[in-house]
Structure 1
Amino acid sequence: MSAEAVGRHMPAIITLDDLAAMISADTHGRRYETSPEGVLSVVPPPDSEHAVIATRLMAWLIAAGWPLEQIMQVAGVRIPGPDGDGGRIPDLTVWSRPQPRAVWLAVADLVLVIEIVSRGSEAIDQGAKVSEYAAAGIPQYWTVARDPAQTVTLYQLGPDGTTYEVTAKMPLAWLLQTAPADHIGS
């Protein structure tokens, strides 16, 4: 399908229901997200390195006793904004309690969002999402870079409650040798 044909059928405002329908209809495994301002992002399916990093982080959380019902992969998160809600699909999320069954979850019980930076998503993961997640009041946000050390950057809400401060940067291998409780508040 040409860009012209897609543009002709694209709604003026993409709702979270539209986004869910786009994800459901995609047969190639792409992720569709929108910022609270309505900026549409299309991310290609993750590769095997991405999957291994996510699995290692999940195993680390589970081994430390984090309840399975409070760790989710690729869960839809409703990001509130002044002009409407955006929808993001982080690689991993950690919650203070189990969540109801829903396509788009509210940020109220969200403790930590982890994004594994994919090639082509650096600007979104390390720029736009930093400000969006902080403005939404998500206490912690981590990014895992795809450099040789798989550097993990830990962000925590600052005193103003709307911006993040970088609290640490470390190789993933080092992080996985520590206890999650050393880094994750509940």
Structure 2
Amino acid sequence: MALTSNDTVLTEAFGPSQGTALRLKQAFMVVAGIVALALFAKIKIPMWPVPITMGTFAVLTIGAAYGPRLGLTTILGYLIIGALGFDVFAGSSAEAFGLTYMMGGTGGYLVGYVLATLALGFAARAGWDRSVLMMALAMLIGNALIYLPGLAWLGVLYGWDQPILQWGLTPFLIGDALKLTLAALLVPAVWKLVGDARK
């Protein structure tokens, strides 16, 4: 399926589609998305070798459900709130927050969040979110776009002679596979529910 921007994304399938009511719906979706990103970032599920954090699940799912424009607005809003010092990131706390936290080891992954949100948004706009297989492929691409700048920034900060992959990639692969599977099943399932409701 080609990446042509013509399909409706999930958030456009319900509610108002024009005028002031649409703008209010979009504003609500952005606020709800930022809240969801902040809440999911703090969820940690015990897992080997490291706990699963649900932040990337929220990023990828919101990207697919919102589309590129609304998704980008939401993820940038989330990052701005984090930059202002609010405790919205997975590892942020009263001791480590704001731009100081964002410029640390997590910084590259946060850049990746923006890239992944856009990628999932364009994939959804192309209709990939209606199929489990295509959604899984989109999720894999999105996850790779999170890791690439994340690992690159770790290399810049700590040096390429360090075990960058062992720090920033391999411990998270099992958890990521589970999250990607869940997201790839969830979005097409919601589309099916929307279709059934319209029958």
TM-score band w.r.t. shorter chain: under 0.3
With structure 2 as the length reference, what TM-score do the two structures score? 0.25
TM-score, normalization: structure 1? 0.27
Q: Which has the higher strand share?
A: 1
**Quick check: which one's helix share is greater?**
2
